[in-house]
């Protein structure tokens, strides 16, 4: 008979707003933090390429049940495009596959950028984590396989030119929705301008409610000798659920919900959720809170809270 294996590490729950340095993968960051916090379960809320730095949301324990909300959140980037060379990875890590002498001026760049705001079609880079017939696109690309990735609709809230330090480089700020690739924007912008280009520098400055001003550096976490000091940097599990309306429940109801049972809500709680907190009458999603503790994600139906995703903390 199979024996239950004891989980390695301690139960740690919450989000960490990490400022990832360059030259390290998102997976490596997860491994480092799992060791530093001696945590049982750790994941991230959206990959950041090794050559990119900036905000990498890290989920511990029960926070991993909310990762999708971090991945779907709006994001902001500051990045630099180097004109004149296109690489196979669309960034500075790849092999140069095409060059040109054309250099766009400020007026042309700003005019072209207008076509990349709002809802646009974008084909993700071949060197990406997109799955094609069950395989990661970057694996197929590295193996020299021929394949196509279908375009997808993405939303760009804002795209603007910040500066042009010289004729070979231009720095941009972009605020986008989910599924957007900066490298694909650089590729398509260069194509519109009739030149070549790739991303030479990329920094993600915001993911949802997590901003670079509040981020913690890996080096600072490693320098902390006190585990309690590290734990104090964690944000609550519900940090990324800022757009999910909450409903107030009692400690007694919280115990029932943690057992997977639905509970009856007080009429005034339902009314407040419906009129003050929930902007979409067709959306029944709610976050059950017992005081300051997140208990579960679920739905409000006929005056009852039906748990869908329970947090065991």
Tell me what pLDDT residue 272 has.
87
pLDDT tens digits along 28-46:
999 999 999 999 999 999 8
The residue with greater pLDDT, 42 or 128, is 42
CB of 49 closer than 8 Å to CB of 199: no
Q: What is the mean pLDDT of the chain?
A: 93
Give CA–CA dist 299/284, Å, rounded.
Answer: 5
Residue 278 has pLDDT above 80, yes or no: no
Query: Any idea which of 5-19, 69-83, 233-247 has the lowest mean pLDDT?
Result: 5-19
Domains present along the chain, CATH in parentheses: 14-72+210-239 (3.30.2350.10), 75-207 (3.30.2350.10), 244-310 (2.30.130.10)
3-state secondary structure of 105: coil
Question: Residue 196 catalytic?
Answer: no
Give CA–CA dist 149/128, Å, rounded.
Answer: 10
The residue from 19, 49, 53, 91 that is catalytic is: 49
pLDDT tens digits along 285-294:
999 999 999 9
* Bridge partner list, 194: none
pLDDT tens digits along 133-152:
888 888 888 888 888 899 99
| DSSP H helices in the chain | 26-37, 67-72, 106-113, 137-142, 182-192, 218-223, 227-231, 251-258, 267-272
Give CA–CA dist 25/48, Å, rounded.
Answer: 7
CB of 246 closer than 8 Å to CB of 292: no
Tell me what pLDDT residue 1 has.
45
Q: What is the mean pLDDT of residues 267-271?
A: 88
Tell me what pLDDT residue 5 has.
61
């Amino acid at each position: 008979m199979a024996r239950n294996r004891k989980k390695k590490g301690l139960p740690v729950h919450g989000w960490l707003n990490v400022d990832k340095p360059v030259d390290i993968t998102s997976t490596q960051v997860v491994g480092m933090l799992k060791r530093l916090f001696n945590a049982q379960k750790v994941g991230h809320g959206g990959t950041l390429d090794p050559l990119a730095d900036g905000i990498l949301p890290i989920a511990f324990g029960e926070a991993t049940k909310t990762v999708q909300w971090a991945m779907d959140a709006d994001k902001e980037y500051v990045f630099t495009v180097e004109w004149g060379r296109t690489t196979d990875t669309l960034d500075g890590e790849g092999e140069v596959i095409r060059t040109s002498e054309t250099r766009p001026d400020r007026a042309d760049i700003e005019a072209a950028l207008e076509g990349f705001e709002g809802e646009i079609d974008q084909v993700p880079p071949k060197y990406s984590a997109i799955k094609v017939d069950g395989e990661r696109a970057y694996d197929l690309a590295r193996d020299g396989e021929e394949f196509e990735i279908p375009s997808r609709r993405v939303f760009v809230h804002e795209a603007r030119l910040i500066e042009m330090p010289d004729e070979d480089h231009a720095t941009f700020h972009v605020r986008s929705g989910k599924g957007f690739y900066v490298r694909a924007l650089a590729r398509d912008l260069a194509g519109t301008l009739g030149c070549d280009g790739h991303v030479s520098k990329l920094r993600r400055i915001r993911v949802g409610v997590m901003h670079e001003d509040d981020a913690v550096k890996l080096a600072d976490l490693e320098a902390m000798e006190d585990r309690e000091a590290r734990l104090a940097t964690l944000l609550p599990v519900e940090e990324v659920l800022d757009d999910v309306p909450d409903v107030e429940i009692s400690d007694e109801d919280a115990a029932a919900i943690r057992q997977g049972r639905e509970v009856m809500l007080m009429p005034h709680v339902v009314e407040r959720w419906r009129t003050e907190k929930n902007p979409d009458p067709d959306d029944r999603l709610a976050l059950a809170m017992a005081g300051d503790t997140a208990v579960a994600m679920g739905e409000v139906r006929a005056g009852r809270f039906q748990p869908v995703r329970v947090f065991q903390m």
